Amino acid sequence: MKRYQNPDIFEHLAMSYALGTLQGKARLRFEKLMSKHLYLRAVTNAYQQQFAPLANLIPSETPPARVWNAISKELQFSQRSTAASAHWLTKLKDYLPWSMAAFGSIAASVMTVLLLNTQPAAYMAALKPPIQQDKMMLVTVYHETMEIAFNMPSGALPVKDDMMPTVWCIPKDSNKPLMRMGTLTAHSENRMPINKATWKEMANVSQFSISLEPMDKPPSDKPLGEVIFNGELAAL
């Protein structure tokens, strides 16, 4: 599985899957991996959204009559099944010791509590350069380990002696200040520890960005240098 943690490999597979060129056993194997790993699903979803407009370029084609006939037969079968189920439920209602309305109210209350208590296990963002989108960096914010992990291909971050790659969180509320998270290095695995307050604040973050900040100037509350990566943050 370690080879699939290499962005140079999984990014190519995700792109092929989104385009539909990954076929047969390879596609099934990749789907199995996606069901287990959040970062594979996030990267694949990012490419699917990027390639979605290409569907509009495909010329329209009228389906053959046999397709419509099959759909019509299937719909008629579904309608009969629905009617039979409704008849069965009507009979069952007469034997229940409580009203269906009360049962529905209880079920709705339980679902509301469950939804309100649902918390994301992680947040993820697929970062790309704002202009030439030829690279991708995957950022994952983990609740279990309380850290931010950055997975990127080799050479993704430029090496400049006088500039430091700096991570920013951009709030959903444009009136709030940017969050300066820390700096990255181009030669090692990058992970940033976070505290509970920072994790809680992730719910209010819309994007992650990385800029090149001058090392000969004091830290600023907003990027002074070039933004080299950015991407939308999503809860998982």
Tell me the pLDDT band of 214, cut-offs 50, 70 and 90.
very high
Same domain, 75 and 43: no
Q: Do 196 and 91 touch, CB atoms closer than 8 A? A: no
What mean pLDDT is reported for the chain?
78
By the 8 A CB rule, do 175 and 186 touch? no
Domain coverage including residue 34: 2-57
Q: Are residues 167 and 82 in the same domain?
A: no
114/66 Cα distance (integer angstroms)? 45
For 18-31, write each residue's pLDDT tens digit.
878 888 888 888 89
One domain, residues 86 and 127: no
**Per-residue model confidence as pLDDT tens digits over 185-199:** 876 568 999 999 999
Residue range 91-106, pLDDT digits in tens: 545 544 544 444 455 4
Q: Are residues 132 and 225 in the same domain?
A: yes
pLDDT digit string (tens) for 98-128?
444 444 554 455 455 444 556 788 898 888 8
Percent of the chain whose predicted confidence (pLDDT) is above 70 = 72
Indicate whether 145 and 43 sit together in one domain: no
- Looking at the fold, whether 71 and 159 belong to one and the same domain comes out as no
* 100 in the same domain as 160: no
Query: What is the pTM assigned to this prediction?
Result: 0.57
pLDDT at residue 114, as a whole number: 46
The answer on 178 and 109 residing in a single domain is no
CATH no. for residue 216?
Answer: 2.60.40
Q: Is the model's pLDDT at 233 over the cut of 80?
A: yes
Note the pLDDT of residue 113.
Answer: 45
In terms of pLDDT, which residue wins out, 42 or 104? 42
Q: How far apart are CA 206 and CA 230, in angstroms?
A: 11
**Using CA atoms, how far apart are residues 6 and 172, in angstroms rounded to an integer?**
31
Pair (145, 193) in one structural domain: yes
pLDDT of residue 8: 62
Cβ atoms within 10 Å of 2's Cβ, excluding its own: 6
pLDDT at 178: 96
Structural domains in the chain (count): 3
Give pLDDT, residue 99. 47
Tell me the pLDDT band of 77, cut-offs 50, 70 and 90: low
Band (73; pLDDT cuts 50, 70, 90): confident
One DSSP character per residue, 178-189 reads PEEEEE--SSS-
Residues 16, 134, 57: CA angle, nearest 5 degrees: 55
Do 97 and 77 lie in one domain? The reply is yes
The pLDDT score that the predictor gives to residue 55 is 66
pLDDT at position 67 is 78
